Amino acid sequence: MQAEQSIEVRLARRLPMPCERVFDAWLVPRVLGQWMFGARVRDENVMRMQVDPRVGGRFSLQVERAGEVFDHVGEYLKIERPRHLAFTWAVKGFSEEAPSRVAVDIVPVHGGCKLTLVHSLDPRWAEYAPRTEAGWNTMLQALAQLP
């Protein structure tokens, strides 16, 4: 995917927690299942959260929604704790041939941190940009409310 052809979904969110906690929430399976997927986020069941948190490592985040199984898969491209994370993103059996790319930047601010997320989609997935933005907004709201 060439950057100049990609469709970007960009979100920024202030979070009331330290950068390290937010960063780690992206890489710890138990925590991922509390804010990215599961009943706190939408009507679904977490089936599997497998994470190999190293550059070149892969993840598989599998959920069951309305009787269908979705396996969100990707590869970690950059891991620079606690400020930057980049990975590919696809749904197994649906978008693997043209995975998107997600970059997460976290900077400290008074009272917590600011997270900026850029999800770059292949142009063939342009129609999914509004749904992608809505999904990340929902997930980041759940992240902000972690106990």
Taken in order of first residue, the domains within the chain and their CATH numbers are: 3-142 (3.30.530.20)
**Structure confidence at residue 4 (pLDDT):** 54
Reading the chain (147 residues) residue by residue, the pLDDT tens digits are 444 589 999 999 999 999 999 999 999 999 999 999 987 788 899 999 999 999 999 999 999 999 999 999 999 999 999 999 999 999 998 877 788 999 999 999 999 999 999 999 999 889 999 999 999 999 999 999 998
At residue 95, the pLDDT reads 76
- Cβ neighbours, 10 Å, residue 134: 11
Which among 40, 79, 86, 85 has a CA at the least distance from the CA of 63?
40
Nearest to 102 by CA among 76, 120, 123, 78: 120
Report the alpha-carbon angle 44-117-88, nearest 5: 70
Q: What angle do CA 33, 67, 34 make, to 5 degrees?
A: 10
**CA-closest candidate to residue 72, choices 52, 55, 93, 97:** 93
CA distance 44 to 32: 14
Report CA-CA distances (Å) from 114 to 36, 72, 99: 18, 25, 26
